[in-house]
C-alpha cells in the first residue's frame, strides 16, 4: 500500500501552524500537509468578535482541558481551553494584540535562545503587522495580520481609565507595541472589517489557494514516526482508520503548549519516568519535554458604575440580538470589538526593570461566559501578574492520544507571585480612586472593601483568580548543551533529525502580555529558519525605559528616557 509523501508535515492549524503553512508554500517546489483535529472556523460565534466567550467554552471548537487540583489555589481544578478548529487558539481567543516588552525577548536570549532577542524579533513582528495607524520603526502596514483599536474607545469609560492611570503617576503610552510598553493607553486587537482576524483568515485562506498545500481536518495524530533518530512521518486516525503520512524534509509540531509536548511524549520522546509511567516505549530521552509550564493568572476588579454608560445595558437577549443583526448585515457596531479597548502596563514595585502587571479595561461588569456579574451598570479591570516564577508540567498518562494529559501549573507556588497579586489589589484601588473616575466609580463589588490585609487579599486571590489562557514553555528553546532545552534556537528538536516544534511551547519565559502576537512572530521567524537556514538581520531601534526603575515604582510625571 502506497503512503502519501509531502516535503513538510505540520501538525496543528493554529496560531503558528497557519503561519507556517502560508510561508512554506511560498516555495512552489515544496509540498505541505497541514493536519488539524478540529474543523471549520466559519461559525458566526468565531467570526463575530463580541461573541468571544462562546467558542472558548464550546467542545466543538476547543479542547476543554482542566488541571489537576492546584495545591496553592485551594485545590481548584482550573479550566485550560485550547483551540481545536482552523486558526487554533487564534479562533477562540480574546483577539488582544500585545507583543510583550522588548526585555522579554532579551530574556529569551539570556536563557540560551540565541538570536531571539528583541532586535532580532522585531523584523518579524513587523512582517506580520498591518497596523491601522501607519508604519514607523516599530510598526508596519501591509502584513497579513490586521491590528487596530476596534471602535476607537467610543465609550467614555475607556478614556477615563487611561486618564486615571496618568493621574496615579504612570506614563501615557501612544503605542505599547512600539517604543514604550509601560503606561496607559488604547489597546489593540486583531480585527479586520468587523471580523475576527485569526491566523486562519490572515494566513491560511490565502495559502489554500496554492496547489502545494493540502489541509486535512478531523484527524487525530497519534505519534511522530521515527527511523533511528530521524522523523519520517506521522501516524494518525481519520474517520476511525489509522493512516500514515511521510515527510521528505521535516515534521513540524505546532499543536500548542499542551498538544506539542503531549505528542512528543506519545511518540516516545521525553523524560524516561513520564514515559514509563504512561506505558510508552522510549525512543529518545529529552527530560525537558512537558516541563517549564507557565501561564498568566488574572482576576476581575469590579465596580458599580454611577453613570448609565456601561455595557451591562447591552447584555439582555434583545440587545444581543440587535448587536448580532447589525453585525450580520453591516459588520459594524458593538459586534466588531472585543470590548478591551484601553489598557495599562505597570511595574508591581520598584526594583522591577520592566512591567510585570497588565490591565485589560472592560466597560462592563461581567464574567468570561458573557453573563452579567450583577444587576445595574458596572465596569471592571482584568488585572494579573505577568512574570510568574512558578512552574508546572504536562504528562501523558497513556499511549492513547484521546486521553488528555495531566496538567499542573503550580500557580502561586512561589512567594514572589503571591506578593505581586497583593500589589495588583492595592495599586488598582489607587488608580480607580483618581479624580478621572469620580463620576463613574460606585461601590467596589470585587474584591470588596472588607478585603484589606495581606491574609485577606491572599485568600481572595486564591479563590478568584482565573487563567488568562496563556500557557507556554513546555518545549523550551535553549542552547545545544542545555539538557532541559527541548529545541535548539533553530527550533529543531535536540538530538533528532527532521523534527521541529514551532509554537508557544518554545518560549523560555512568558512575556508580559497576551501570547498570540509573539506566537505569530515566532512562526514567522521559524519559517525563514526552515526555508533559508537563516533569519533577517537585527533591527536597531531604541526602547523607552524608566531609567530610575530601581528607585521608584511609577514615574510621577511624563519623562521619556530612551536607551
Segment 59-82 mean pLDDT: 98
Segment 334-354 mean pLDDT: 97
Q: What is the rounded CA–CA span in Å between residue 104 and residue 512?
A: 7
pLDDT of residue 375: 77
List active site positions. 470
At 1, the pLDDT band (50, 70, 90 cuts) reads low
Query: How far, CA to CA in Å, does 176 sit from each of 182, 420, 467, 511, 545?
Result: 7, 21, 23, 14, 12
Residues 6 or more apart whose Cβ sits within 8 Å of residue 148:
131, 132, 133, 188, 189, 191, 192
pLDDT of residue 366: 79
- Concatenated DSSP letters of 131-177: ETT---SS--SSSSEEEB-TTTS-SHHHHHHHHHHHHTTPPB-S-TT
- Would you identify the CATH topology of the domain 4-532? FAD/NAD(P)-binding domain (3.50.50)
Q: Examine the pLDDT at 315 and tell me if it is beyond 90.
A: no
Alpha-carbon dihedral of residues 146, 149, 154, 159, nearest 10 degrees? Answer: 180
Q: What are 251-292's pLDDT values in tens digits?
A: 999 999 999 999 999 999 999 999 999 999 999 999 999 999
Report which secondary-structure segment, H or E, holds 163.
Answer: helix 156-167
What are the start-end ranges of the H helices in 402-465? 415-432, 454-464
Question: Is residue 397 within 8 Å of residue 424, measured between CB atoms?
Answer: no
At 367, the pLDDT band (50, 70, 90 cuts) reads low
Q: Examine the pLDDT at 386 and tell me if it is beyond 50.
A: yes
Q: What are 452-465's pLDDT values in tens digits?
A: 999 999 999 999 99
Q: What is the rounded CA–CA span in Å between residue 91 and residue 70?
A: 27
Q: What is the mean pLDDT of the chain?
A: 96
Residues paired with 63 in a beta bridge: 82
Q: What are the strands, taking DSSP E only, across 421-550?
A: 441-446, 466-467, 499-501, 544-545
- Going by C-alpha positions, the residue among 194, 195, 196, 197 that lies closest to residue 332 is 194
CA atoms within 13 A on the CB side of 149: 18
What are the start-end ranges of the H helices in 208-354? 256-266, 272-278, 317-330
Q: Where are the domains of the chain?
A: 4-532
Segment 7-26 mean pLDDT: 98
Amino acid at each position: 500500500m502506497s503512503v502519501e509523501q509531502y516535503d513538510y508535515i505540520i501538525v496543528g492549524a493554529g496560531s503558528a501552524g497557519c503561519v507556517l503553512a502560508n510561508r512554506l508554500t511560498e516555495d512552489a517546489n515544496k509540498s505541505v500537509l497541514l493536519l488539524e483535529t478540529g474543523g471549520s472556523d466559519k461559525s458566526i460565534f468565531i467570526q463575530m468578535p463580541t461573541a468571544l466567550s462562546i467558542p472558548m467554552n464550546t467542545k466543538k471548537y476547543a479542547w476543554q482541558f482542566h488541571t489537576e487540583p492546584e495545591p496553592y489555589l485551594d485545590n481548584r481544578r482550573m479550566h485550560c481551553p485550547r483551540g481545536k478548529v482552523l486558526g487554533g487558539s487564534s479562533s477562540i481567543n480574546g483577539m488582544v494584540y500585545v507583543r510583550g516588552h522588548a526585555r522579554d525577548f532579551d530574556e529569551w536570549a539570556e536563557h540560551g535562545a540565541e538570536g531571539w532577542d528583541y532586535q532580532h524579533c522585531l523584523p518579524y513582528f513587523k512582517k506580520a503587522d498591518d497596523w491601522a495607524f501607519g508604519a514607523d520603526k516599530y510598526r508596519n502596514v501591509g502584513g497579513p495580520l490586521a491590528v487596530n483599536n476596534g471602535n476607537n474607545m467610543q465609550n467614555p469609560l475607556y478614556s477615563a481609565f487611561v486618564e486615571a492611570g496618568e493621574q496615579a503617576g504612570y506614563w501615557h503610552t501612544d503605542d505599547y507595541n512600539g517604543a514604550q510598553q509601560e503606561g496607559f493607553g488604547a489597546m489593540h486587537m486583531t480585527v479586520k472589517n468587523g471580523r475576527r482576524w485569526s491566523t486562519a483568515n490572515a494566513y491560511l485562506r490565502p495559502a489554500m489557494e496554492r496547489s502545494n498545500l493540502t489541509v486535512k481536518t478531523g484527524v487525530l495524530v497519534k505519534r511522530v514516526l521515527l527511523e533511528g533518530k530521524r522523523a519520517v512521518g506521522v501516524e494518525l486516525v481519520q474517520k476511525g482508520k489509522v493512516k500514515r503520512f511521510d515527510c521528505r524534509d521535516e515534521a513540524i509540531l505546532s499543536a500548542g503548549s499542551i498538544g506539542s509536548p503531549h505528542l512528543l511524549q506519545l511518540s516516545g520522546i521525553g523524560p524516561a519516568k513520564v514515559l514509563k509511567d504512561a506505558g510508552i516505549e522510549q525512543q529518545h530521552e529529552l527530560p525537558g519535554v512537558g516541563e517549564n509550564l507557565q501561564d498568566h493568572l488574572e482576576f476581575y476588579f469590579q465596580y458599580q458604575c454611577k453613570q448609565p454608560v456601561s455595557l451591562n445595558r447591552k447584555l439582555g437577549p434583545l440587545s444581543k440580538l440587535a448587536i448580532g443583526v447589525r453585525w450580520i448585515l453591516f459588520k459594524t457596531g458593538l459586534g466588531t470589538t472585543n470590548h478591551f479597548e484601553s489598557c495599562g502596563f505597570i511595574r508591581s514595585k520598584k526594583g522591577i526593570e520592566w512591567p510585570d502587571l497588565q490591565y485589560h479595561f472592560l466597560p462592563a461588569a461581567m464574567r468570561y461566559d458573557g453573563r452579567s456579574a450583577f444587576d445595574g451598570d458596572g465596569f471592571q479591570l482584568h488585572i494579573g501578574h505577568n512574570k510568574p516564577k512558578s512552574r508546572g508540567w504536562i504528562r501523558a498518562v497513556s499511549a492513547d492520544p484521546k486521553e488528555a494529559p495531566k496538567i499542573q501549573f503550580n500557580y502561586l507556588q512561589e512567594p514572589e507571585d503571591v506578593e505581586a497579586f497583593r500589589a495588583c489589589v492595592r495599586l488598582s484601588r489607587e488608580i480607580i480612586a483618581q479624580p478621572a473616575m469620580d463620576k463613574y466609580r460606585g461601590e467596589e463589588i470585587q474584591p470588596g472593601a472588607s478585603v484589606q490585609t495581606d491574609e485577606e487579599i491572599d485568600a481572595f486571590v486564591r479563590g478568584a483568580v482565573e487563567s488568562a489562557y496563556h500557557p507556554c514553555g513546555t518545549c523550551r528553546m535553549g542552547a545545544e548543551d542545555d539538557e532541559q532545552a527541548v529545541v535548539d534556537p533553530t527550533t529543531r528538536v535536540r538530538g533528532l533529525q527532521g523534527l521541529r516544534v514551532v509554537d508557544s511551547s518554545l518560549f523560555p519565559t512568558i512575556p508580559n502580555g497576551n501570547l498570540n502576537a509573539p506566537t505569530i512572530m515566532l512562526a514567522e521567524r521559524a519559517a525563514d529558519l526552515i526555508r533559508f537556514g537563516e533569519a533577517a538581520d537585527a533591527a536597531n531601534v531604541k526602547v523607552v525605559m524608566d531609567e530610575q526603575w530601581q528607585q521608584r515604582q511609577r514615574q510621577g510625571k511624563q519623562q521619556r528616557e530612551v536607551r
